[in-house]
Structure 1
Amino acid sequence: MAAQRQASSASQTPHISPAELSYLYTSLALPGSPIRPDGRSPTQFRPLTAETDILPGTNGSARVGFADGTQAIVGVKAEVEKTVVTADALKLPQQAKDDYAGNEDGDGNQGSSTGHGSWVQMSIEIPGFRDDDALPVFLSEMMREPLVESVSNGGSGNDEMAGGLKKRLVINKRWHWRLYIDVLLLSQPQSYPLPLLSLTTHLALLSTRLPKLKSKGEEDPFFDDDWGAAEYIYPRALKSKSHLSPSHQVRPPVTLLVISVGENVIFDPSREEIAVADTVLAVSVARDSDSDTLKLLSMRTIDPPSRLTQPGVANSENVATLGSTAAAEEAAILNPSTGEEEVPGVWRPRRGGVKRSTIARMVKLVLQKGGVGEEVLEGLEGVEVG
């Protein structure tokens, strides 16, 4: 798990008074049944609309919009590119070439069937941010990293179902596809935009098709001109493996945003909820190609804005109210985890780290059978593509 410090502090902290922050934190930290501002359950996602194949001239595209008006559009384009292979690799006998698979050359390319992460390029545009600002750069890399990683097939030898996106871009040892994924957020983010961008990218890749290859072996690539014969980069159904359920098919990963408030774990948080979160976790998952389970691809922590929020001032410490009846009746409570005094109704941002048991519980709720991760992937699978 890599901890990343976000320059934008989890994307635009809302202007909330210390009293409102304290009330919101208390509501979300209620044991067993947190009260969210919009009435959702802890694992319930915001309603959204989604559609695919909306951009002409692209290999795949999608649009996803949340009820608050925030929308994202993703377009995927592909071009054929020659793979750089070292001369030594070309002179190796066949068995040595197989052993060579997975080794990079000096230019960062590979002459093997494993593919290379540099073949996938992603750019994110967010209104009000420059391309080289911390937020778009951080989001781009956080989404690209799990996307290019392979999903193990558990050693079953099922090459048709194994491998991540980069392996699917291999044409032969001398040619490959290069993907350009352009992500556009259409409005100022009302909350941390990572889940919206991840879901939209997932659907865009599901709709991405590449021209059908007519050449064979190591010949220069030659493709079918009929776009109707183009093949999905992530097939909707496996013709030769029709007995397998859709859950066994490899799909693009999704990145979910999870927060903890007190002992409670909350999914798809709003901007107000992130403002009082004890910890914010971005969890990237994908289906394991050889089983009906989810695989954890990456996990990153994001600095919550609460760590940068100034604490409130209790009446007993305020010179303007010192000696008043309210100050005298104000009772302080000692927080056992921090050792600090907590005054009801006064905002005190959390200090220190988060328990390992809390992190483990957050990941478990995503990965477990019938958990949130499976619900999200099944919901995306139901979106009509093509």
Structure 2
Amino acid sequence: MASQRQATSASQVPHLSPAELSYLYTSLSLPKTPIRPDGRSPTQFRPLSAETNILPGTNGSARIGFADGTQAIVGVKAEVEKTIIAADTLDSRSLGQQGDQLNREGEEGSAAVSGQGEWVQMSIEIPGFRDDDALPVFLSEMMRESLVGSVEDGKDVEMAGGLKGRLVINKRWHWRLYIDVLLLSQPLAYPLPLLSLTTHLALLSTKLPKLKSTGEEDPFFDDDWAAAEYLYPRITNKPAKHTTTAQSHPVRPPVTLLVISVGENIIFDPNREEIAVADAVLAISVTRTGDSDTLKLLSIRTIDPPSRLTQPGIPNSENVNMLGATAPSDDPALLNPATGEEEVSRVWRPRRGGVKRSVIARMVKTVLEKGGVGEEVLEGLEGVEVI
């Protein structure tokens, strides 16, 4: 599990008074029945609208918009590229035989590919951010990382990652994907879930020309776009509930869900007000591999909420994240004997320290379990009609 300290847009930090923050934290941490500002249940996602194939000249595209007006568009382009196998992947017997061939191909200007992770290029544009700012760079790398996740336990590439195996044409050629992500408005909350869901839908709609060549021949394709094949095959007929074959659980692109904990409660798809008082924020990436009826966990990233972004060594009286909640005091009656810091009744204070392991475990389990939030999201995206 990796941690990342992120620069946050001013629009993502709500301007709430200490009393409002305290009320919000108390409402979200109520046992059994947390009260969210918009009335949703803890596992309920915001309503959204989605459509696919909206960009001409792309292999696949999608748009998703939330009810608050935040929208994202993703376009996917594919091109054929020659594969050069890295020397460390060749065995000793084939190294000498293929060395001359690799050198000749390199002199001809072939693209050297040191790893399959380079077969997918992703760029994210967010209004108000430069391309090299921390937020778009981190979001881009995190989403690309889940798409080209490494093979584990010797499993087949296609079963483990779902994407890299589908980009292979033969031993000498592969597809290279360019994924361009555009957020159409200032982010009103951490934009990762919106960008991830839109990318997932764009990949589901992506088509590649039908291959007509065979074996190790130079690839040539069918000119008829109507014969093009989906990168991720669509399921036209929904299988019966008792079916347990791999076909009933098709390989699908990963999705990254944002989950927060407030007290002992777990809340999905938080808005910016909820993130402001969160004890922990996790970005959990999952996918469906096709070899199991359960989801596969790809990665867990921790994201620091605004309350944890204060640099160390700054006293509370000067902490802008405290919003004036504390002030220096000489009255010993107002100081906490354990910490020596001032206690203010009914005023929210940012949580310090870690989160219980049991809470983290429940956050992951709620996403991965059968019939859980992860399956609900994937089934909802599967239901979007790809035209």
TM-score normalised per structure 2 = 0.83
**Equivalent residue for 1:236, pick from 229, 234, 237:** 234
Provide runs of 4+ in structure 1 moved above 3 Å: 85-97, 150-155, 159-163, 241-247, 311-315, 331-336, 338-344
Within 5 Å, give how 1:71-90 maps onto structure 2: 71-85=71-85
8 A contact 1:19–1:312 mirrored in 2: no
What's the counterpart of residue 325 of structure 1?
A: none
Q: CA deviation at 1:72?
A: 0.2
Q: CA deviation at 1:23?
A: 1.1
8 A contact 1:311–1:348 mirrored in 2: no
Q: Which amino acid aligns with 2:374?
A: G
Q: Percent same amino acid at aligned positions?
A: 77
Within 5 Å, give how 1:120-159 maps onto structure 2: 120-149=120-149
1:313-366 CA-partner distances (Å, limit 9, x unpaired): 469x779xx9xxxxxxxx989799x89775443121111111111111110110
Q: Which amino acid aligns with 2:113?
A: N
Q: Evaluate the alpha carbon distance shift between residue 9 and residue 351 of structure 1 in structure 2; reply closer, same or farther with a 3 A threshold.
A: farther
Aligned residues: 359
8 A contact 1:10–1:192 mirrored in 2: no
What's the counterpart of residue 206 of structure 1?
A: 204
Q: Evaluate the alpha carbon distance shift between residue 196 and residue 268 of structure 1 in structure 2; reply closer, same or farther with a 3 A threshold.
A: same
8 A contact 1:150–1:165 mirrored in 2: no
What's the counterpart of residue 327 of structure 1?
A: none
- 1:365 and 2:363 matched: no
8 A contact 1:48–1:65 mirrored in 2: yes
Of stretches 348-357 and 203-212 in structure 1, the one that deviates more from structure 2 is 348-357
Q: Evaluate the alpha carbon distance shift between residue 13 and residue 117 of structure 1 in structure 2; reply closer, same or farther with a 3 A threshold.
A: same
What's the counterpart of residue 57 of structure 1?
A: 57
Runs of 5+ unmatched residues, structure 1: 98-104, 323-330
Q: Distance in 2 between matches of 1:70 and 1:367?
A: 27
Runs of 5+ unmatched residues, structure 2: 98-105, 311-320
Q: CA deviation at 1:119?
A: 0.4
Q: Evaluate the alpha carbon distance shift between residue 349 and residue 382 of structure 1 in structure 2; reply closer, same or farther with a 3 A threshold.
A: same
TM-score normalised per structure 1 = 0.84
| CA-based RMSD | 3.3
SS of equivalent to 1:272: helix
What's the counterpart of residue 375 of structure 1?
A: 376
What's the counterpart of residue 178 of structure 1?
A: 176
What's the counterpart of residue 318 of structure 2?
A: none
Q: Which amino acid aligns with 2:195?
A: L
What's the counterpart of residue 222 of structure 1?
A: 220
Q: CA deviation at 1:368?
A: 0.8
Q: CA deviation at 1:367?
A: 0.6
SS of equivalent to 1:252: strand
What's the counterpart of residue 47 of structure 1?
A: 47
Q: Evaluate the alpha carbon distance shift between residue 227 and residue 93 of structure 1 in structure 2; reply closer, same or farther with a 3 A threshold.
A: farther
Q: Distance in 2 between matches of 1:335 and 1:371?
A: 43
Q: CA deviation at 1:90?
A: 8.0
Q: Evaluate the alpha carbon distance shift between residue 161 and residue 7 of structure 1 in structure 2; reply closer, same or farther with a 3 A threshold.
A: closer
Q: Distance in 2 between matches of 1:13 and 1:94?
A: 57
1:129-187 CA-partner distances (Å, limit 9, x unpaired): 000001100100111101112677996x7x87564211211111111110000000000
SS of equivalent to 2:212: coil
What's the counterpart of residue 282 of structure 1?
A: 283
Q: CA deviation at 1:275?
A: 0.6
SS of equivalent to 2:233: coil
Q: CA deviation at 1:247?
A: 4.6
8 A contact 2:280–2:304 mirrored in 1: yes
What's the counterpart of residue 328 of structure 1?
A: none
Q: Which amino acid aligns with 1:292?
A: D
Q: Distance in 2 between matches of 1:368 and 1:360?
A: 12
